[in-house]
């Protein structure tokens, strides 16, 4: 899989022109998790910029538009004007937009509909959960940090393994990519992304949530996992109670629990009293290049190739369908490394791969990605 894309230069001027003011503006006026500058830049590697009340990210040949206005109400006319300017500025061809509504020209390109769910920070645990949360608190210690340890990696791998085996709710590949991107996002978010951990008496990780504290008014629940290898009943509920307490301590008004996603996740959020908030529409479309170029580069590859990973990761948060990987037209050609076997025992996973010493293709991008996701390489 290709390395992260280098952010394209066009959006850098408006970002520099607004400078720190844009960061402060987004922090103060954020309405949805996608308004979090540290989170979105850490996930995407894209260059952020604002046009009017709307927030955008761009890199290589892609553009993401967040059509939830920072101020005022959404209007097709103002969003379309901002979008047209962003397209002219970046020359993007692969485009995504999310918003409470979208212009009529994008109606045929809508690929997802949902609603955000929120919970007031002043909320107490529901009466029926107070006993289970207290029992979980007697067995577990809750801590908060910013370092993704080998234990976190094993918990993520265990959880994703259950998903792959059909033992947990289904997960789109690009959402799994967001789990894989967690260590880098934590390292690049400047402390606003944090891990809320529940550990047993032996220090083993029973459950973990990834939270975003960057917006001034709310904390965002980004993703989480719980262990079956070191299972403690209601460990996730304990973390939700801790998340409420920490949000109040940080002066937040509410928790942003994200989208419904599927019935299982929605049921968990509802039992904590979460209520639907903004509607969510997602559109995906291709624009004709406004720069008279297909973004081809001198090395024979295209911007779309290097952009695949970054789109998969950033759109994991936006819940866009990821594109199928393309093979870079270069010599030697890069191909996905497919000679890989998974071995599992006692909740731990090992990967065994075959090698080809003389071959006309390169597996280097795949190996770079794979090596970032494991604790040891032989």
Q: Looking at 12-16, 164-168, 250-254, 362-366, which range is the least confident one?
A: 12-16
- What domains, with CATH codes, occur in the chain? 12-114+279-318 (3.40.630), 118-276 (3.40.630.30), 333-372 (no CATH)
pLDDT in tens, 271-320: 999 999 999 999 999 997 665 443 333 333 444 444 455 455 555 555 44
Q: Looking at 148-152, 153-157, 310-314, 318-322, which range is the least confident one?
A: 318-322
Q: Could you give the CA distance from residue 214 to residue 26 in angstroms, rounded to a whole number? A: 9
User: Strand 218-226 relative to strand 205-212: parallel, antiparallel, unpaired?
Assistant: antiparallel
Q: Looking at 79-83, 249-253, 293-297, 351-355, which range is the least confident one?
A: 293-297
pLDDT in tens, 108-139: 999 888 899 999 999 999 999 999 999 999 99
Q: Is the pLDDT of residue 362 over 90?
A: no
What's the pLDDT score for residue 293? 40
Q: What is the mean pLDDT of residues 204-229?
A: 94
Q: Is the pLDDT of residue 31 over 90?
A: yes
pTM score of the predicted model: 0.73
């Amino acid at each position: 899989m290709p390395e992260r894309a280098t952010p394209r230069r066009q959006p850098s001027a408006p970002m520099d022109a607004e400078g720190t003011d844009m960061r402060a503006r987004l922090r103060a006026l954020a309405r949805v998790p996608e308004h979090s500058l540290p989170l979105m830049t850490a996930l995407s590697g894209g260059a952020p910029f604002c046009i009017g009340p709307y927030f955008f990210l761009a890199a290589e040949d892609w553009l993401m538009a967040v059509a939830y206005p920072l101020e005022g109400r959404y209007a097709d006319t103002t969003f379309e004007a901002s979008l047209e300017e962003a397209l002219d500025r970046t020359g993007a061809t692969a485009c995504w937009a999310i918003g409470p509504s979208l212009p009529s020209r994008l109606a045929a390109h809508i690929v997802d509909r949902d609603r955000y769910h929120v919970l007031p920070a002043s909320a107490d645990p529901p009466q029926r959960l107070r006993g289970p949360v207290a029992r979980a608190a007697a067995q577990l210690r809750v801590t908060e940090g910013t370092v993704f340890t080998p234990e976190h990696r094993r918990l993520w791998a265990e959880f994703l393994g259950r998903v792959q085996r059909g033992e947990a709710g289904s997960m789109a590949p690009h959402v799994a990519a967001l789990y894989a991107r967690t260590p880098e996002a934590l390292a690049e978010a400047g402390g606003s992304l944090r891990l809320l951990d529940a550990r047993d008496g032996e220090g083993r990780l029973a459950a973990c949530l990834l939270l975003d504290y960057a917006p001034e008014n709310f904390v965002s629940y980004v993703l989480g996992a719980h262990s079956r290898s070191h299972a403690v009943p209601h460990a996730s509920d304990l973390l939700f109670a801790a998340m409420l307490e920490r949000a109040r301590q940080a002066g937040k008004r509410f928790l942003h629990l994200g989208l419904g996603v599927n019935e299982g996740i929605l049921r968990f959020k509802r039992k904590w009293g979460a209520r639907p908030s903004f509607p969510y529409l997602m559109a995906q479309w291709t624009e004709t290049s406004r720069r008279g170029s297909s973004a081809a580069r001198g090395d024979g590859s295209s911007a779309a190739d290097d952009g695949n990973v970054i789109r998969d990761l950033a759109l994991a948060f936006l819940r866009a369908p990821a594109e199928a990987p393309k093979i870079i037209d270069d010599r030697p050609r890069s191909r996905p490394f497919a000679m890989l076997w998974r071995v599992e025992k006692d909740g731990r996973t090992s990967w065994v791969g075959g090698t080809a010493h003389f071959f006309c293709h390169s597996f280097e991008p795949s190996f770079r990605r794979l090596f970032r996701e494991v604790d040891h390489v032989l």
